[in-house]
Structure 1
Amino acid sequence: MLRYFVAVAEELHFGRAATRLYISQPSLSHQIRKLEETLGTPLFVRSSRRVQLTAAGRTLIREAPIALAALEQAVQLTRLAGSGIATTIRLGYTPVTSFDTLTTLLDALHEDHPGLTVAPREVFSAEIPERLCAGDLDIGLALAPQPIDGVGGEILRREPVSALLSTRHPLAGTPAIPVTALRDQTLLLFPRRLAPTYYDGIVAACHEAGFSPEIHAFEEPPVNAMLARLSGGREIGLAPASFAEHAAKPGTGIVLRDIVDPPIPAELSVLWPANDPSLAISGVLATARRCAEQNGWLRNHPGE
């Protein structure tokens, strides 16, 4: 009935309001009378020539949009709950997704599921599967996660590993850095225990190029820690390209260079509890797949 009232109040004409609402004028008049009876006060002054709002009607038209918006939100939340879509999703993400991948996914989830609340939590990749099994998380974004019973997963994004280095580094003027050029360099990486498969992939690429890399590990928040260490000009940070592109911003004194001959791949996966059949998980996964498709996250696998 409130929606009918708003239409009449805006049109100040029952005939036009009925046309706008796609109902007959007698039905509209009946609904307005029922609303007035419920409220115990007239909302309109009707005459053969014009329709005017009463003082009560003017008060209601100020409050009605707020009430309608609240009602619409309640309807959406009710539909989500009834369909199995939870109103809150706890999303664990590894720090290297905190720029492009995470923000793109959060925007898409807001668009696809406006009644859904997403609670992002920064978690290192190696911890995400266990926290999914423990029920601490509903969805995870992990870099090269190790398989674990009870956790489902699929690759969401493939991209190359890029090099971050100071503008003062001897290799800063090189357009692209071959893996062999890393032989005599000190590489900055997460400790192996935080992303073991990713770490091992980089070490394996160096071994295939004929050397064992010198690695310094850091556990502090990745952007600040890496940029501070790289500013000295002696080390090279390795990170997935989408993360590296945001870390190497103008004014930081840090540049981004591709790793080539061969490129080193990095794979980001979306993970979920395998025994959770809820539509909440299905809805988030559908949105994640849409993001991957629309943004080309699975195209151009490095080395292919």
Structure 2
Amino acid sequence: MRSDLRLIRYFVAVAEELHFRRAADRLGIAQPALSRAIQTLETELGVALFTRSNRNVQITPAGKVFLDRSHEMLSLMERATEDVHNAHHGRIGSLRIGYTDIAIAGPLPTLLKDFQGRHPQIILQPQHGVTLTQINRLTEGKLDIGFVTGPVNKDDYDEQPVQSERFVCVCADSHPFARRTGIQLTELATEDFVHGSSTDWQHFYDYLIPLCRRAGFMPRIVQEAFNTAGILGLVSCGMGVTVLTESVCLGHGPGLMVVPIEDLTERLITSAIWRRDHVVGPTGHFVNYLRDLPKL
């Protein structure tokens, strides 16, 4: 069978109108041409789709079955055409999004939900990774957008700050700081620190170490963990204190206290980053969405 969509559309019009002239008018073609087209279709199928008389046209049982399948075929073709256009314009596809512990604890989930509502046909694929891992994945083409501790300041990348947070001290609820409403950064000079691993948390180190040096000390790191859950777990056991951002500590587990560092005005920036040569398809739509956000 070689029937094309044109013949199927002609058949549907006749089946719905049950009148060749009205169907021809609806299609904008001559009635004889429509009659020949239906005859061609019936010949290809090897069955009669209609019974014809001088008074009326009736659809046959075989025609009813073919009408149902024709509606399915035309609907599928319409969806396929729409999907092709959406894919061409980046409105359909997948988007691989990296995030750090700090990013996912802030406004990122809300941003993703809002973007998904605007672009429901784009499948979001969040992937956890520290800043350095995300940069490597972006370079290798394994990630489309990263939410990292910024600024990154790398050639061939664009970035946009999306979150700015102040630093806080986190200690066990049995620590003397737990009874304080605030501390000074210099008071941490004699404390044992629990921190993220120096390799994975390098960008966070690049923020924290200069701040401590400016205050006249180097943090005495006695324990390291790979993620914030591990850091907070060690702190709650009294292994030391840590410096993190406010959002990470929201809803923290038992045994912890969050204490403001009153003289520390610097803030940690989380930035969205992407390759400058890869702003196409779903990535392009997400970048445009980010650029429409209020600037920090």
Q: TM-score, normalised by structure 2?
A: 0.69
Instruction: Name the residue aligned to 2:181.
Output: 175
SS of the aligned residue for 2:232 comes to helix
Shift in Å, 1:140: 0.4
CA contact (8 A) 2:169 2:242 kept: yes
CA contact (8 A) 1:155 1:269 kept: yes
SS of the aligned residue for 2:155 comes to coil
Shift in Å, 1:196: 2.4
Instruction: Name the residue aligned to 1:15.
Output: none
1:121 aligns with 2:123: no
CA offsets 1:149-207 (integer angstroms, 9 cap, x no match): 33222222111122222211110111122211211112222223223232122111111
CA distance in 2, matches of 1:157, 1:264: 13
CA offsets 1:114-154 (integer angstroms, 9 cap, x no match): 11001111111012122111101011011125333332222
Instruction: Name the residue aligned to 1:53.
Output: none
CA contact (8 A) 1:132 1:151 kept: no
Say how many residue pairs are matched: 246
Instruction: Name the residue aligned to 2:97.
Output: 91
* Map 1:121-200 → 2, pairs under 5 A: 121-144=127-150, 146-200=152-206
Pick aligned residue for 1:286 from 285, 288, 296: 288
Percent identity of paired positions between Structure 1 and Structure 2: 21
- After TM superposition, the structure 1 stretch with the greater mean CA deviation from structure 2, 185-194 or 267-276, is 185-194
Letter in 1 for 2:290: A
Instruction: Name the residue aligned to 2:277.
Output: 275
CA distance in 2, matches of 1:145, 1:195: 14
CA contact (8 A) 1:84 1:278 kept: yes
1:263 aligns with 2:269: no
Instruction: Name the residue aligned to 1:232.
Output: 237
CA contact (8 A) 1:85 1:278 kept: no
1:108 aligns with 2:114: yes
CA contact (8 A) 1:76 1:115 kept: no
Letter in 1 for 2:218: S
Quickly say closer, same or farther: Cα 1:266–1:216, change in 2 above 3 A.
farther
CA contact (8 A) 1:129 1:148 kept: no
CA distance in 2, matches of 1:221, 1:202: 16
Letter in 1 for 2:118: D
CA contact (8 A) 2:105 2:247 kept: yes
CA distance in 1, matches of 2:173, 2:135: 38
Quickly say closer, same or farther: Cα 1:181–1:79, change in 2 above 3 A.
farther
- The Cα RMSD (Å) is 3.6
1:207 aligns with 2:209: no
CA offsets 1:77-106 (integer angstroms, 9 cap, x no match): 434312134510111111222233331122
* Map 1:61-76 → 2, pairs under 5 A: none
Quickly say closer, same or farther: Cα 1:258–1:285, change in 2 above 3 A.
farther
SS of the aligned residue for 1:233 comes to coil
Quickly say closer, same or farther: Cα 1:73–1:235, change in 2 above 3 A.
farther
- After TM superposition, the structure 1 stretch with the greater mean CA deviation from structure 2, 94-103 or 108-117, is 94-103
CA contact (8 A) 1:145 1:195 kept: no
